[in-house]
Structure 1
Amino acid sequence: MKPTEGNKRIDILDYLRGLALLGIILVNILPLLAVKLPSPGSADAAYQRFLFLFVEGRFYTLFSFLFGVGFYIFISRANAKGKNGYVLFLRRIAALFILGWFHVKFHPGEALTVYAVTGLLLLPFYKVKKEINLGIGLILLVSLSIMAFKLFMVVPLILLGIAAGQYRIFEKLAGKLKEAAIFTGVMFLLSMAGLIYQFQHAPSAPFGFFEGGVDETTYMFLSIGIMIGPLVSALYVGLLILLLQFSFVQKLLSPLKSYGRMALTNYIFQTVFIYLAGYVFNLFDALSYLESLIVCLIVYVIQLIFSVVWLRYFQFGPLEWIWRGLTYLELPPMRKRIKDEN
């Protein structure tokens, strides 16, 4: 069985995956390098508050939702080409689980194993009507958000991604700009209300979230953050969709598209680069919050440049190529054809 070819990529999904990766590393680096607790009233304390208002729980949410969209598109395109999309998908998530199993040994909070297991559980929902998937997804997401069950929110987020695929939300967006603008406006109002509410419950002193338990005030602040996370994530999606309607923005953010097209490679190698920096420069339990931001910015530059250059010559990212080979039981050609390079 040969890999599917000629499938038209939906560019906005690559942009969104790239955006999600930019946010995920900002939070993941904190426990991986045991970043130091900020001093009260410091710039590091202000940055910590910023992270837990605008980043924590916002980009992981987006990444989970996008996995659901990809879930639906993958099976649909495979079936449309006369292949058994279910069998291919099962191989795909089995390979993802194996990659995640190795990754989790170094990064306990990694997402790939969770996505693989959840994808298996939600496979029957591929055939369920889109209205039912949307309804169940929304009910579960609201319920779990209110209870601040962050880990279990992956289930409704992926289910909503499947529904988004069924509704073809991200296809032919140029004809849906009015709806996108209305959606973004509503999400802006809801997100601002939620963020103001969360800010009002912000603890007066910095907190060691990754060092154990937290006090009641901090727990409330973090719980509200989990509760409003999907709203803020949806706002980010809407804003990016609207911004990308301008050609100069597309050109400016084109490296982000390459970054997201190699999402698996870049996600795994974020961990590799963080640990490499930690061991080479002895950064464990030595970095401040703002210094962790500098490390992330350096990783951004390296990965964005690498992604752009790599995809200039190759069709897939390194791990995407292996993942595809395990899915189809045949390694596809890596180099771009001459006509693809012109």
Structure 2
Amino acid sequence: MMINPGDVLLLYGVYGIVLLPCMKLPKPLLLTVGILGTVVATVTTIKFLLPLPLMILGLAVGKYRIFERISRTIVTRLVVVSGLFAVIAFIYLVNIAPSFSIQLYEPIAHATFADRAFMLWPIFTCLYIALIVRFSSALRFLIPIGKMPITIYIGQSILLLLLSPSDLITLGQAFATSAIIVIICFICSHVWLRFFANGPLEWLIRTGTNTEVSRAISQR
């Protein structure tokens, strides 16, 4: 049973199985397949295909140890360039965004806007990654969220259902709802990890996949 229709966790699980044999493939092949697959999925706006080439691309990046080897100067330049393009893309999307109420999960009436926004995701993702790499030390306050990703994902899905019971909301309401969810998840993750070593769902998964029976959620 899925909390939301088309919940991405199901797709991630299937792609994860496909990804296992890819871990032994050579780096050049992984990089090529990852880039080509990402470009094809983005240009054709076939969203359900995108996670797999991105996962493969992530494997290639890890094998090449790009984040460990990239220089601070290159990252800074990447932040500036991607930031400039991100501002332009954001202004473009704001200008073409529907002004009337939108339905969550990309209704047919907003398919054109959704497709154009989807095709611009590499710009924002590039900026996002560059900022994380460049200012990693200043972003340490986000570590608790990263330590309990599954709990946060399921939690934000539940919060979304509670805060937006209606299918029709405005863009402003969507932004406000997202901001509230982020703040709640941020606070809850910090409070939880002050008392426990793992998120609740992360502990359940580790317990179920560990050969030894894990202890109850261990306190720090």
TM-score (norm: length of structure 1): 0.56
**CA distances 1:156-214 after superposition (whole Å, capped 9, x unpaired):** 1111111122122344x7x73123223334433554565566566x1564364547422
Q: In structure 2, what is the equivalent of residue 268 of structure 1?
A: 154
Shift of 1:316: 0.9
Q: Which residue of 1 aligns with 2:46?
A: 149
- Confirm or deny: 8 A CA contact 2:45 2:118 kept in the other structure: yes
Letter paired with 1:109: G
Selected match of 1:257 from 143, 147, 150? 143
Alignment partner of 1:206 out of 96, 100, 118:
100
Aligned to 1:230: 122
User: Please, which of 132, 138, 144 is the counterpart of residue 240 of structure 1?
Assistant: 132
Match of 1:159 among 44, 56, 61: 56
Count of aligned positions: 218
Kindly provide the amino acid, as one letter, of the partner of residue 113 in structure 2.
F
Q: Which amino acid aligns with 1:206?
A: F
Instruction: Report 1 or 2 for greater relative contact order, CA contacts < 8 Å, sequence distance ≥ 6.
Output: 1
SS at 1:335's partner residue? coil
* Corresponding position of 1:67: none
Cα offset, 1:220, TM superposition = 3.9
Q: Could you tell me how far apart the structure 2 residues matched to 1:289 and 1:311 are? A: 33
d(CA) in 1 for partners of 2:12, 2:127: 23
CA contact (8 A) 2:145 2:186 kept: yes
Question: Shift in Å at residue 305 of structure 1?
Answer: 2.0
Alignment of 1:284 onto 2:166: yes
**1:121 positional shift:** 1.2
Moved over 6 A (4+): none
- The two structures have a TM-score, normalised by structure 2, of 0.82
1:130 aligns with 2:27: yes
Question: SS of the residue aligned with 1:206?
Answer: coil
Q: Is structure 2 residue 185 aligned with structure 1 residue 303?
A: yes
Give the 3 Å change call, closer, same or farther, for CA 213–207 of structure 1 in structure 2: farther
- Classify 1:167/1:207 alpha carbon distance in 2 versus 1 (closer, same or farther; 3 Å): farther
Q: Structure 1 residues 241 and 318, CA, compared in 2 at 3 Å: closer, same or farther?
A: same
Aligned-partner Cα distance in 1 for 2:60–2:151: 26
Residue 335 in 1 paired to residue 198 in 2?
no
Match of 1:112 among 2, 9, 12: 9
- Amino acid of the structure 2 residue aligned with 1:310: W
Q: Distance in 2 between matches of 1:294 and 1:194?
A: 21
Give the Cα–Cα distance (whole angstroms) in 2 for the partners of residues 305 and 127 of structure 1: 40
C-alpha separation in 2, matches of 1:204 and 1:147: 22
For the Cα contact (< 8 Å) 1:265–1:320, is it kept in 2? yes
Amino acid at match of 2:108: G
Question: How much has 1:331 moved relative to structure 2?
Answer: 4.0
Distance 1:135 1:192, change over 3 A: farther
Query: Percent of aligned pairs with the same residue?
Result: 29
In structure 1, give the amino acid aligned to 2:218.
Answer: R
1:271–1:235 Cα change, 3 Å: same
Q: Which amino acid aligns with 2:9?
A: L
Give the Å deviation of 1:266.
0.9
Conserved 8 A contact 1:134-1:163 = yes
Cα drift, residue 147 of structure 1: 1.1
Letter of the 1:330 partner, please give it.
Answer: E
User: 1:196, 1:144 → 2: CA distance?
Assistant: 24
Q: State the distance in 1 between where 2:93 and 2:123 align.
A: 13
Alignment gaps of 5+ in structure 2 = none
CA offset digits 1:231-272 (Å, max 9, x no partner): 211111102322234xxx34xx51x21012111001101122
